[in-house]
A and B are shown apart, each in its own frame.
Chain A
Amino acid sequence: MLLAGSIDVISGSLECEPDGYGTACGRSCEGAADPRHAGGEGGTRSLCLPLMCGIAGSTEDPEGRKVRGMCATMHHRGPDDEGIYSDAASGVSIGMRRLSIMDVEGGHQPLYNEDGSLAVVCNGEIYNHPQLREDLLARGHRFATSSDTEVLVHLYEEYGEELVHALDGMFAFALWDEPRGRLLLARDRFGEKPMFLHERGGELAFASELTALVAVTPGLRELDPVAIDAFFVFAYVPGPGTIVPGVRQLAPGHLLSWERADPRSRERPWWTAGADGLVPQERFESVLAEARRLFDESVRRRMISDVPLGVFLSGGVDSTLVSIAAAKQSSKRLQTFTVGYDVGSVSETAQARRTASYLDSEHHEVTLTQQMVAERAPALLAGLDQPLADRALLPLNVLSEFARPRVTVALGGEGADELFGGYPRYRWLARSRRAESALPAGAARPLGALLRGGAARVGRGERAARRLAPAPLLERNLDWVTSERRGARAALYGPRMAGVGEGRVVADLAARAGGHRGEPTVRWLMHLDQIDYLPDDVLFKTDRAGMLASLEIRTVFLNRELADFAASLDTSVHLAGGGKAIVRAMLPDGVINTSALGRYRKTAFRVPAAEWLRGPLAGALDRQLERGVIYGEGYFDREAARALVREHRSGERDHSELLWPMLALGLWADRFHGLDDG
């Protein structure tokens, strides 16, 4: 029950502080050719996108000029800090751009070991660094700074490349081993921090941002139709490729080593997701006790003493659990934030208030108005490294900006659904597989076809039929997550997309997942989401949304011991009850109104996209249809798009599932197209 007056609900709009980093602050860049520049059409403000911490490096850059150029694209006016190390003899330079306002526990980088033979730049945080430092000090290492990153060079002295196995954190780092002439790049296991690579003519270049690589490398101006196809189907660009041919990502959980003596890049995984189903026979109480221990330890490591913490409350179990654990361990009053809208029917604010009351947190509600959408969305979507059509990007960014003046760090619940079986489709698909196995052999496929055909004829229930009727599990999973986009492609694509095979996107996905023996299981789907959706949509979104506001978002569920533990449990343990059984069991009773939760299908950050496309973003859509490069260059068919927009605008149909990705891609492509070539 909500106790009136017991929580401090602060409603507000975003302020534009004199030295803040808001996208609404209207700073101008050095002209439209500045890669940080976005927007400015149709009377909207042009914005200079602030950026983030980033690392960069090249093996053909003896004076660091190229790296300086890459760091400059990650530049924003304001207090910041740049450091570049160049080994002129080998031609290798590595550099880091860090915003001082982001100085959580870090220091100036690059960082070095005792004799200066190793240099490292790292984007991210090593959460277990206090314990690591203690162990290393006991072994005789000497530290020059209090930065968490410094443990990396000392761990390398002990373990070489295997140092990644000592880390609990989110990281993408580059380490230069001068005596051996070896460059080591590493990315964290889930892909929380980005790393883009480009190789040409024996040179290896890397950067935290695709835009940085593109800005300093001539000739990287093409777009890959296969990647565009995948983007349109999935609403994100799946790794390890990118939308720019020639640029790829260092895959999550991978290492890359490069040696001056043998200058070829060698990539290998240091961790791979397991796809096997496991059936331990433990008592649920001891499973739960272990989960709690690991979860609390993860929160403890991610907190900083004596500094207020923020949590974004969505009303769902993940953020609620995170906030309860944080409040328990924090000596300061927790700051909680929720976003609301002025249009549409989605609201998380009621449950969030209940949780805030329970926590006695300082609770803030931010309204993301249509006005704000009109002002911010185009620049935000255009300015990303790669297009992203996850609609939660905008509310998450707004929350981050609102939180930033009040907290340095926010704790996030990302990853819980993938690791702990939270998505409803896992349960549905598991159930239908069980039902299917009860059918007589050979009846399943024809029955499936019959059901789908029947639904098509009747004109209703097609969605349900496609999802539940017997068919290969991957197909059904895809249908579920990609809505009708797969089928709509043919009508919407232009001639530039002709070369992309229809089945390519599915084949690529199955290949990335490493295939499976026999029929795939729901476990395999969870594994697939972990290696694909999680890094390239969820974590990409979280990283950018937060970093654009200079707020560091620390995920709690992606702690490696907790993730290992989740992986050791059978799917049936996770999917029991309403799904995500372990997470729910860790919640105290009564905090979440479970009857509401029952009706509450996964709606965290569900946004009124349909309304926005009819209202505040109508102008952007129209401008796109008129002048957008994706139509001009023949990727999409202008007339088909126009018809969609008309239907959507008339209220006859809701085409937001199709229009949002097209808008996101179009805005992004226009900015990309407008960049100077090298």
Chain B
Amino acid sequence: MSENGTELLHEVAQSEYKYGFVTDIESDKAPAGLSEDTIRFISAKKNEPSWLLEWRLRAYRHFVSLMEDGDGLPEWAHLNIPPIDFQAISYYSAPKQKPELESLDEVDPELIDTFNKLGIPLAEQERLVGIAVDVVMDSVSVTTTFNKELEKNGIIFCSFSEAVQNHPELIQKYLGSVVPHTDNFFAALNSAVFSDGSFCYIPKGVQCPVELSTYFRINEAGTGQFERTLIVADEDSYVSYLEGCTAPQRDENQLHAAVVEIVAHDDAEVKYSTIQNWYPGNSEGVGGIYNFVTKRGICQGDRSKISWTQLETGSSITWKYPSCILKGDDSVGEFYSVAFTKGMQQADTGTKMIHIGKNTSSTIISKGISAGKSQNSYRGLVKVNRGAENARNFSQCDSMLLGDRCGAHTFPYLEISNPTATVEHEATTSKIGEDQIFYCLQRGISEQDAIKLIVNGFAKEILAMLPMEFAVEARNLLAIELEGSVG
């Protein structure tokens, strides 16, 4: 790489975070600290039934027992995680406003402005684009658009809190059924203190006519965000679900520990897409979000399908493995990921595909792009149980390095207990080619544009999997992330 090129990559690796503003919205915030009282406080605030409080407390006690065995953080991850003071975090922060909203007009204008700045015009989205949006600011769902359209089809799409009040039987049936609170440290923490999130239920035979989406925003200082998303697709239904996340620029690290659970019954299909753009910290690694998320779907029914697509560009540390349990016969799991890290970011991300049913198949395509001094790891498990006749998996992990101070790592795990399984794994690592850049330069394209072209080309296969409106946003985001001012 030429000297200019190195410099450019340096700038690329340090470009500014665009969403780092703070909104001045009055909020209702719990004092910092974690105890049974905190959990009772949250549960009371949300007017929850007693079974849910008990459920939270069980999770909390498990979390406490894990803390006693050490700090509870995952040691196997290729991450350098500083100790987290769980007593310094506030576990509940809600923008103050009227509890019931008749229409978007009643939403705090500051809030609408916030989402306009993020490029999510709530009002327009409601009318012009076929997307229903649930907005979660700090820990609370602030608005859900497009509800009436969905109601006609019997689709439930609302905040988690509303679902607890209005559909307790569904919540009680499915909550924790895919990710039990004992699953891992952060799942235990989330189960204890989660304050809101999104709930979605698609009835039998219904193809959801619009994209459902949730935008998560952390605003308050000193808070964590702990939301839960639960998606249930009943027999022969289909839904495409989108998730986006941003946070203000702060010097402190903020914790985001979410849980997403998906259940797909017979012949149901769920497509879940994420654009993760939490604040990554500055170029020296100060501040940024710790993104410790447990996402898992179960293909409960025969011929069901769950597909995860993610573009990961934010967070100072990402620890995230959207997974599929392929329980139904002939069920299908997919994981498509682009993870871009720069500065001092660390990402350890990948998937688990657990084959249980017969003739199950899974596809994993992961593209990692590392710049600056960042570390980018793919970690994936393909597990074929004894009874999973004729399971098939294809995995492909490609890494691209921009510059020579970053790292790319691949950790594939295979546990195959059935001899009829077919498992393929391909991995490549490439440095962005000097020849490729020279070729672009010789056609009059600037070095910065050349890098953007080449990186976008590398990620294109995955970005093309995103729903159209999202794909445009994803390409823009990747372009912004790659932005550097060429001297």
A and B are interacting partners: no
A interface list, Cβ under 8 A from B: none
Interface of B toward A, CB cutoff 8 Å? none
